[in-house]
Amino acid sequence: MTHWLTRFLFRAVRYLLAKGRALEAALLRRMPTHHLAQTTICRSTSYDMMAQPDEPYYSKEYLSWILPALEANSPDLTAGILDLGCGQGRLLIPLAEKFPYARMTGIDFSPSAIESARRYAEARELRNIEFRCTPIPEAVQDFSPETFRGILMTEVTFYFPDWEHEIARIRDLLTPGGWLFVAFRPQYYNALQIVKDRRWEAVDLLLERRRGHILGGPVEYSWMTSQEIHDRFTNKFGMDVIRIVGIGCCSGIPGDPHAVLAEPSHLPVEDLPYLERLEAWFGRQIPDAGRYMLLITRKRGEDPSFPPVKFPLN
């Protein structure tokens, strides 16, 4: 009797959750477009990556790959760095501290995220960093070609499905030999999410396309494989792909399918070096297994014999 009741309650809860998602999607579809945009912005930027307990770990993981590239042949970075979709500044602020004489520019479409980023920068007394509130397509029109030595666009493409339309212009903003770092949502991550949430109706969409309403709501997302990223940037955009690595191959934040393995903020401090080593190794070997995939690519036009980049576990 107890076993029967448990199964009944489990199915009832799952049914109510599914109905709740469907009701939410129906209500959002009826919203005026500008209200829907505001709702999407609030959801995507109310999560403060400078304050959440797990995010410093992932910031460190990103920077362990980004910093060696930036330092390899341009330690002064006088041409500056542009962060498209900077949020509250979780990557740009550490870079501004690392390169105090370089010009840093952060772009985000959320006024609240930009205001928080400015407060964090002021608290650290940083004078080499500027934040602007504007969408990426508009922002990239404001700068002259060959303005930046490094451009970041991390954890943006998955809710910006038209990212490909902007890459050529973003590439042109780089100086010859400049670095572009872009993080993508792996197709495999979404597969795990579908299995975790039992969203079987999304399987065909996941396998047959690379963008769509994969989470069931009105917001369109995108996802990729590492091979597709490599081919797109090499053949379509004419860039040198240096590496594609997985970020968070063995851990996650609440809600991630990876979170059942480990949440960094829940581990003892002495355990973190072991997790970091595992994630660096598997990030190199199996980038599609990450929460995100970080593309490290370089604009052509400079002597390719630049000093070797000392990435993690080289």
Task: Enumerate the domain spans of the chain.
Answer: 32-244+292-299
Beta bridge partners of 105: 82, 130
Question: What per-residue confidence (pLDDT) applies to 5?
Answer: 54
**Each residue's pLDDT tens digit, 53-75:** 999 999 999 999 999 999 886 65
pLDDT at 12 over 60: no
**Each residue's pLDDT tens digit, 246-265:** 999 999 999 999 999 999 99
Q: pLDDT averaged over the chain?
A: 86
Residue ranges in the chain assigned as alpha helix (H):
2-29, 33-45, 55-73, 92-98, 111-123, 136-139, 164-172, 187-197, 203-208, 226-231, 272-285
The amino acid at residue 6 is T
**Each residue's pLDDT tens digit, 183-202:** 999 999 999 999 999 999 99
CATH number of the structural domain 32-244+292-299:
3.40.50.150
- The mean per-residue pLDDT over the stretch 140-169 comes to 94
Name residues whose C-beta falls within 8 Å of residue 144's C-beta, 6 or more positions apart in sequence: 173
Which strands make up the sheet holding 239-247, listed edge to edge? 129-133, 104-108, 81-84, 148-153, 174-184, 292-299, 239-247
Side-chain-facing half-sphere of 13: CA atoms under 13 Å: 7
